[in-house]
Structure 1
């Protein structure tokens, strides 16, 4: 897939982006051969959102329905994408790719599986050029080009038996807190048959516990074939805790009796490799193969 000449529409459905960071990322996209249009309300501010709800929703709807736009790129996460979900059109007229992560996990629930739409969990423009490492940028470019990703070595946390044969599935997941916030709505995720990739940021351990319990009780993880943990940035344990965050997460996910791995390079730190929601993948030899 060649990128030269393709058009990116920048949208800000959630938090207020730092336009200095966004502009540096736009320059990077242009160096990749992409043309970039900035949504009408990306520079707006309304309380802690990037403009009023109806304006953010209008920018998203316009980008998804404009036949001249090839890629819809989220400017920043934060919070607020849920307000725009009803603006997602019933059909998308031509092939489009949406890129984002964190709060954009809400958009995945509305867009995944829709004809003509590809969803990539990858850096927002608030951090693509300035906050993530070169490997993450290279991963993002490769994903846009639909190139095969190199296998990623993982840390094995739990396997139900000593049997470590290949596990196949499609990729799903995203930000734990956002996934939990959609539980019980029409945009609730389904992880049946999935290798579930999970990350979070600035959440106390007990809040992550609470979110996973909500996802468990809502049936979101039913049928999952494996769990793969990414980075959990600034997610502190209680003072004097005698357990690690991985200990807690294994306890919470172990009832599914499927493999649990860690150290996939996604999240809010410097590492945030891109992956396509719904793409086929496998766990083999303690590696994620895509």
Structure 2
């Protein structure tokens, strides 16, 4: 895998919105957080566009992404928020240009589709992490979420244990492989495409938000029948953001689905639609153990 260069104070980063326009107030609040890290922020020219014909807006979002990758002065690309539609531009990305201009690409939710597409098509490490408007705004952000950008500067490895969140083991064991994954809905949508997640020999990250238990069960079954779990080395489950009776149902679904897994499965990692929302690199080596629950992730930058 190709690792992008680590960030340093004074670097320029681009904020783009390939899944839909962000709230202006929240975006500005998040940009100030990036600036407090010592970064110079450039906003994509089409970040707030969203009223045009779908084909036109797809092209504009693609333009912002391509221009950010091709600009030698841009050292990182951070997505503004999630939404819908990144799958539609995946076929139009110039992956050779991405490969020849490696840089940090960071986001989650609908951005999952691009994280996997870029990783598979250009061999570039991508980053599943909190976004500018949706996670760094004054209403939601936590110091832990902000601090998860630190490894982009330091190149440090990431150790995730129960000090960060109470981890629960569903299936015991040890596993080692490259870290892949993201949002469950987007992982399912990618099945049968050139951008299907490659979980062979991997630690698979799965997160979701407010989906009913039966939908999670259906999507996990879809992944299973597509062979995604055949040679996986471990599964890390995020916080699925459900409450009350639905949470009880979801727990049963997860326990039953992974009951006879031949690989370790640990749940309640704070990745994705939650606060704190910890950023992690995808495509790098990772180790998952269950006694005690622990995930070790190599640096995503060089």
Q: TM-score, normalising length from structure 2?
A: 0.85
Match of 2:151 among 122, 142, 156: 142
Which structure carries more relative contact order (alpha carbon 8 Å, separation 6+)? Answer: 2
**Distance apart, 1:15 and its partner CA:** 2.5
Number of residue-to-residue matches in the alignment: 283
Q: Distance in 1 between matches of 2:38 and 2:48?
A: 24
**Distance apart, 1:53 and its partner CA:** 1.3
For the Cα contact (< 8 Å) 2:116–2:181, is it kept in 1? no
For the Cα contact (< 8 Å) 1:205–1:237, is it kept in 2? no
Match of 2:113 among 89, 106, 116: 106
For the Cα contact (< 8 Å) 1:105–1:174, is it kept in 2? yes
Do structure 1's residue 250 and structure 2's residue 255 form an aligned pair?
yes
For the Cα contact (< 8 Å) 1:120–1:276, is it kept in 2? yes
Match of 1:159 among 171, 179, 184: 171
Q: Which runs of 5+ in 2 are unaligned?
A: 1-5, 298-302
For the Cα contact (< 8 Å) 2:202–2:233, is it kept in 1? yes
Distance 1:237 1:192, change over 3 A: farther
Q: Distance in 2 between matches of 1:264 and 1:213?
A: 21
For the Cα contact (< 8 Å) 2:205–2:237, is it kept in 1? yes
Q: Distance in 2 between matches of 1:48 and 1:275?
A: 35
Do structure 1's residue 9 and structure 2's residue 14 form an aligned pair?
yes
For the Cα contact (< 8 Å) 1:157–1:250, is it kept in 2? no
Q: Which runs of 5+ in 1 are unaligned?
A: none
1:185-224 matches, within 5 Å, as 185-224=193-232
**Distance apart, 1:115 and its partner CA:** 5.1
Distance 1:177 1:71, change over 3 A: same
Q: Alpha-carbon deviations, 1:124-143, whole Å to 9, x = none?
A: 11233222321121012224
SS at match of 1:201: coil
**Distance apart, 1:205 and its partner CA:** 1.4
Q: TM-score, normalising length from structure 1?
A: 0.89
For the Cα contact (< 8 Å) 1:60–1:84, is it kept in 2? no
**Distance apart, 1:82 and its partner CA:** 0.8
Q: Distance in 2 between matches of 1:68 and 1:2?
A: 12
Q: Alpha-carbon deviations, 1:103-154, whole Å to 9, x = none?
A: 1100012111555733111001123322232112101222443222234226
RMSD: 2.4
Q: Distance in 1 between matches of 2:117 and 2:241?
A: 26
Distance 1:155 1:30, change over 3 A: closer
